[in-house]
Structures are given as C-alpha cells and as structure tokens.
C-alpha cells in the first residue's frame, strides 16, 4: 500500500479496521464485497472485512492481548466478564461461537451457557 499509509484519513480509520480484523487495500484493488471509503469526494482506501468466524478469533486474540495472558488462565470472574463482552459483540450468533469461546476459555460449553444464563438473569431477561 505504497503512499496510502501516510494519508491522515487512513491513519484515522486504521485502529478501527485493525480492531475488526479487516484488511486495508488501495481502492483500485477493491473486490465486490469490500467497502471503499471516500473522503472529500475521492476514494481513499478499501476495507476487506473478515469472515464472521475469523472476527471471533480476532476478538478472542485481542481480549487475550489486553489481559496479558491466555484466556484459559483467567479466574472465573474474569471469564464471566469475557463472556459478557463477547455476548455484547455478537459472538454467540456465529456458528460454533459457544464452542469456540469455551475452548478459548478452557471451560465446557455448559459453563459458557451458565455464564450467559447468569448474565441474562441479572438483567431480568
């Protein structure tokens, strides 16, 4: 992406694209499913969004980096907080989301469902 990296608009959106696990490309390389971002009437960058399953893996990796250790090494309360964050981000609408999260947390699917049920009961759902 020669030359694109210096654009202030690209610099501004890069943290968001990175957080989503997306990829930035020159606009002329955009495919049909890519999102082309324009600024002041000119196409500046194309963003290739990840598949949903890849997004979940990306979110789990980001949560792990933020906490500075594998999610499986967290205590129960911290794992419950991770499940709350993931639920808010739609992780459990992804096919095999519960299994993926359970594996990352080092717990059973049943435990993840218990964390979800506990959170929903606390909300009064």
Please calculate the CA angle 72-75-80 and round it to the nearest 5 degrees: 85
Q: What is the pLDDT of residue 1?
A: 44
Q: What is the pLDDT of residue 53?
A: 66
Regions of the chain short of the pLDDT cut 70: 1-5, 52-53, 122-125
What global pTM score does this model have?
0.63
Which is nearest to 80 in space by CA: 59, 46, 99, 105?
105
Q: What is the pLDDT of residue 125?
A: 52
Q: What is the pLDDT of residue 6?
A: 78
Which runs of E-coded beta strand occur in the chain? 23-25, 35-39, 42-48
Q: What is the pLDDT of residue 101?
A: 96
Q: What is the pLDDT of residue 107?
A: 97
């Amino acid at each position: 992406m020669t030359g694109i990296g210096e654009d202030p608009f690209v610099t501004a959106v890069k943290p968001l694209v990175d957080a989503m696990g997306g990829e930035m490309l020159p606009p002329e390389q955009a495919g049909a499913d890519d999102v082309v971002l324009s600024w002041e009437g000119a196409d500046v960058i194309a963003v290739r969004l990840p598949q949903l399953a890849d997004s979940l893996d990306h979110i789990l990796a980001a949560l792990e980096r933020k906490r500075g250790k594998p999610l499986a090494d967290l205590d129960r309360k911290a794992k419950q907080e991770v499940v709350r964050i993931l639920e808010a981000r739609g992780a459990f609408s992804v096919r095999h989301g519960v299994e993926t999260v359970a594996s990352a947390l080092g717990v059973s699917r049943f435990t993840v469902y218990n964390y979800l049920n506990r959170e929903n009961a606390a909300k009064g759902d």
